[in-house]
Amino acid sequence: MPPYKKKTSRTLAPDPAEVVPPTDETAISALRPVGTDGASVSIIVERKKVAKVDTTWAMDEGLHSEMPWTHELAARVHAAAKRHAAFAHAVRLTGVRQRSAYDLTRKLKLAGHDEPDARASVEKLQDLGIINDDTLAARLAEELARSGKHGARGIELKLRTRGIGSDLARSASREAIEESGDPDAVLTLARKRAAQLARFEPDVARRRLYSFLLRRGFEHDQVRRAVDTALNEPEPSDLH
């Protein structure tokens, strides 16, 4: 995989020392609030914005205009700017889609954010209650259970593809099936699929139907009973 070009990225913080190289004569010229909430601030050096950081961090560091722009300060600012950029990116990603902690961390790392910054951003969103794996797992599992298209194992697999841990995915899927699932879902699905397989020889239809239901995550015993019932039911024309 080719290295990320962080300087040209729209989501990653550039190195402030490369924007304005520190010298004996350079200094911070201004700190400009960003947006209306004042949660972040732009650091201006030599009339150029070198970084955007969290306002609280800037205050804790005692940043002010005329503060000498040194290599040491530029390095600290860069670290803060990277953390800020990772968190801002994480907020944007959660605004598009509800995500698990694992999935969000993975997305941030793929975008080029350093792993510590990605993890810190996710932990901050967890503390704020913006992301919650338990809530996400329960909601997704309930939706899948109500659809009647997946068994417990199928729902568990779906959750794991969204970055939900195996234990949580398993418990959420079992609970959703018990509380929201249709006990006749596997038979309903088997009947629909059996009608589509009517043109095949009985043995072929049975193998395909069995395989189809297993792929949907239903248990072997459920599948066997549903297949036997669906394939042995008389055709509507035979009832007259």
Distance of alpha carbon 110 from its chain centroid, rounded?
12
pLDDT of res. 240: 42
Instruction: Give the pLDDT band (50/70/90) at residue 234.
Output: low
pLDDT digits (tens, 9 = 90+) for 45-67: 999 999 999 999 999 999 999 99
Q: Where are the domains positioned within the chain? A: 6-127, 133-180, 185-235
pLDDT digits (tens, 9 = 90+) for 180-223: 888 899 999 999 999 999 999 999 999 999 999 999 999 899 99
* Sequence-separated (6 or more) residues with CB below 8 Å from residue 239: none
pLDDT digits (tens, 9 = 90+) for 10-26: 689 999 999 999 999 99
Element (H, E) at 152: helix 152-161
Structure tokens that stand for 32 in this block: 């400009």
pLDDT of res. 8: 46
Strand positions, DSSP E, the chain? 28-34, 40-45, 48-54
pLDDT of res. 1: 42
2 has a pLDDT exceeding 70: no
237 has a pLDDT exceeding 60: no
pLDDT of res. 235: 60
Instruction: Give the pLDDT band (50/70/90) at residue 36.
Output: confident
Please report, as a single letter, which amino acid is at residue 109.
Answer: K
Biggest alpha carbon–alpha carbon distance for the chain: 99
Write out the DSSP string of 69-105.
--HHHHHHHHHHHHHHHHHHHHHHHHHHS---HHHHH
- The values of phi and psi at residue 20, to 5°, are -135, 105
Higher pLDDT, 35 or 197: 197
Protein fold of 6-127? Arc Repressor Mutant, subunit A (1.10.10)
* Sequence-separated (6 or more) residues with CB below 8 Å from residue 140: 158, 159, 162, 164, 172
pLDDT digits (tens, 9 = 90+) for 73-112: 999 999 999 999 999 999 999 998 899 999 999 999 999 9
Instruction: Give the pLDDT band (50/70/90) at residue 34.
Output: very high
